[in-house]
Amino acid sequence: MTLIDFEEDVEILRKSGDFSSREGFLEETFRAFLKEHPELRVKLAVEKYRSGSVTLNRAAEVARWMVDGSVPNKLGAITC
Per-residue model confidence (pLDDT) at position 71: 52
Integer Cα distance of 28 and 14 in angstroms: 12
pTM attached to this predicted model: 0.62
Integer Cα distance of 34 and 20 in angstroms: 21
Integer Cα distance of 80 and 78 in angstroms: 7
Per-residue model confidence (pLDDT) at position 77: 43
Map out the domains of the chain as residue ranges.
1-36, 38-80
Per-residue model confidence (pLDDT) at position 72: 54
11-36 per-position pLDDT tens digit: 888 889 888 888 888 888 888 998 89
